[in-house]
Amino acid sequence: MDLRTVNELLAGSVGGAAQVLVGQPLDTVKTRAQIAPKGMFKGPMDILRQTLRNEGFLALYKGMASPLIGIAGVNSLLFASYGISKRIISPFPQLSLPQIAAAGAMAGAANAVLASPVEMFKVRMQGQYGAQGDKRLREVVREEWSKYGFRNGIMRGYWVTIVREIPAYAGFYAAFEFSKRKFAGKYGKDIPVWALLASGSTGGIAYWLSCYPFDVVKSRVQQRSTPPSGNPVRYISHELRTIIAESGFPGLFKGLTPSLLRSIPAAASTFAAFEITREYLLGLTGV
């Protein structure tokens, strides 16, 4: 394996762990806004208040085990796929922003392979509200595997995850690189850490604005007690129509505010951790 890819895998793992630790509480609020029964909450702040009052502070970290266990693989795959995609698109290191977006889209498609099961079990855990019958992660995994197997259980929501990840990471990487280049024009190669944090935040906001309705669909599909029926185009379009019928067009953007708020520290910490680790490994290995 190319040593550059190894370095990207390692740096991606560090960035992914930072993302989960920083962003999980607001991710829980976002997911509950998307999947909670109608009328259960009045809005994101009510979700936060009720969660803290009824379940305690640690409930905001429900479902963290799934991404924390899987994040090394997910982010390693993402960053490595992005690096490989850039090298496929152009042999030159400085790509145009459209080329960056294309590489991000390719990386997003590859990333869905691991992101789908990680998201699946995170959503299932976040959709438990502190009742006596709430299940542990291993019980949820065992139940999905025994009832529905790998394709309809473990990988439920895979196709809508792909549909989400392609525009999401095209927007993410294009916005991140645009911001980073603006700072590089001012500071040169020695971009300060705060500028990396700001660039990561810009990318995180672009991520959600590029894909949010499909994230709502993904969460609802993965929270169902049974797998969706029909081909992916049919069940995704059916879910979109159902959301609009239930809540109107704004229903496609339930939980967007906590997502955007989460993206600022989470994406910032992810890319700052990745870039710092990548620079360290560059100095260590020379590539």
What does the domain layout of the chain look like in residue ranges?
3-285
- The whole-model pTM stands at 0.85
User: For the residues 194-214, what does the mean pLDDT come to?
Assistant: 90
Percentage of the chain with pLDDT > 70? 99
| Burial class of 226 by CB neighbour count within 10 A (0 to 12, 13 to 18, 19+) | exposed
User: For the residues 220-237, what does the mean pLDDT come to?
Assistant: 91
Crossing angle between the packed helical segments 97-126 and 193-223, to the nearest 10 degrees = 50
Among 1-5, 42-46, 237-241, 259-263, the range scoring the smallest mean pLDDT is 1-5
Which residues fall within 8 angstroms of residue 135, CB to CB, at 6 or more apart? 128, 143
Distance between CA atoms of residues 76 and 123, nearest Å? 21
Distance between CA atoms of residues 91 and 174, nearest Å? 18
Dump pLDDT digits (tens) for 125-174: 999 988 888 899 999 999 999 999 999 999 999 999 999 999 999 999 99
HSE of 94 in the Cβ direction (CA atoms, 13 Å)?
A: 3
Distance between CA atoms of residues 239 and 35, nearest Å? 12
Distance between CA atoms of residues 97 and 284, nearest Å? 29
User: For the residues 178-194, what does the mean pLDDT come to?
Assistant: 87
Q: What is the pLDDT of residue 229?
A: 85
Q: What is the pLDDT of residue 277?
A: 87
Q: How far is CA 77 from CA 7, 13, 130, 234, in A?
A: 12, 9, 33, 29
* Residue, of 18 and 168, whose pLDDT is higher: 168
Q: What is the pLDDT of residue 1?
A: 61
To 5 degrees, how large is the angle CA 204–CA 205–CA 211? Answer: 90
- Of 141, 129, 274, 259, residue with least CA distance to 200: 274
How much of the chain is in helix, strand and coil states, percent to nearest 5?
A: 80, 0, 20
Q: What is the pLDDT of residue 92?
A: 85
Tracing tokens 């300060």 back to the chain, one arrives at: 192
Identify the DSSP state of 226: S
Structure tokens at 236: 């995704």
Percentage of the chain with pLDDT > 90? 53
CATH label, 3-285, candidates 3.40.50.10540, 1.50.40.10, 3.40.720.10, 2.102.10.10: 1.50.40.10
Over the chain, what is the mean pLDDT?
89
In this structure, what is the dihedral angle of CA atoms 122, 131, 52, 57, given to the nearest 10 degrees?
-60
Dump pLDDT digits (tens) for 61-74: 888 888 777 776 77
Q: What is the pLDDT of residue 72?
A: 66
| Burial class of 276 by CB neighbour count within 10 A (0 to 12, 13 to 18, 19+) | middle
